[in-house]
Amino acid sequence: MNSKSPVLVVIDVQNGFLTEHSRPVVPIIVDLVQRWHDAGRATIFTRYLNFPGSPYERLMGWTQLRESPATDIVDDLIPHAAKATAVVDKTIYTLFNEEGTALIKEHGWTDLYICGIDTNSCVLKTAVDAFERDLTPWIVTDASASHSGPDVHDAGILLATKFIGRRQLVTQAQIPITL
């Protein structure tokens, strides 16, 4: 693809995913989103919603993020989410549910700059799914975290190098916001 059309994808920065390990990334994401919006660029936010009987509950015993305030986007990002192209609710790891897939196609976005929580699951899965759809995923490593801790974040980064390539991992300072 010769013509780049970027979108910033902010994955699951929700109250229920905030811990001592993930909370420090929120101001970094706020800054990145603000600069992205100031440049007139499009954003998508995702919100993970768990449900009774979900695979997360049935197979993993994980029953969190079923209702507000846990499912709410963190306060610092609410004004930015209101200006986003979309807030996609999802019950799976990836942005690429029916709504997310349609949005990407409708807008012709080719490059997805992905940040958020959790690096090892929803961020990684969205990047891999973009890769497999012949899109160009970029994981913004310093604007991503894992609520389980830095070792799990690092594991997600390591897996990303194998799934999408080391060159697809960038810091926010390396993003050409004014493409």
State the pLDDT at residue 2: 41
Is 179 part of a structural domain of the chain?
Answer: no
State the maximum Cα–Cα separation within the chain, in Å, rounded to a whole number: 45
Q: Domain of 122: which CATH number? A: 3.40.50.850
Is 67 part of a structural domain of the chain?
Answer: yes
- How many distinct structural domains can be found in the chain? 1
Nearest to 52 by CA among 44, 43, 62, 42: 62
Q: What is the mean pLDDT of residues 23-40?
A: 97
pLDDT tens digit sequence for 47-103 = 999 999 999 999 999 999 999 999 999 999 999 999 999 999 999 999 999 999 999
Q: At 128, list the tokens.
A: 């891999």
Is 1 part of a structural domain of the chain?
Answer: no
Is 156 part of a structural domain of the chain?
Answer: yes
CA distance 173 to 152: 23
CB neighbours of residue 62 within 10 Å: 12
Q: Are 65 and 49 in contact (CB under 8 A)?
A: yes
> Where does residue 85 rank: exposed (0-12), middle (13-18), buried (19+ CB within 10 A)?
middle
Is 158 part of a structural domain of the chain?
Answer: yes
Is 96 part of a structural domain of the chain?
Answer: yes
Is 99 part of a structural domain of the chain?
Answer: yes
Helix (H) or strand (E) holding 56: helix 55-60
Q: Give 176's pLDDT tier (boundaries 50, 70, 90).
A: confident
Q: Which domain holds residue 40?
A: 6-174
DSSP annotation of 92: S
Q: At 175, list the tokens.
A: 């993003």
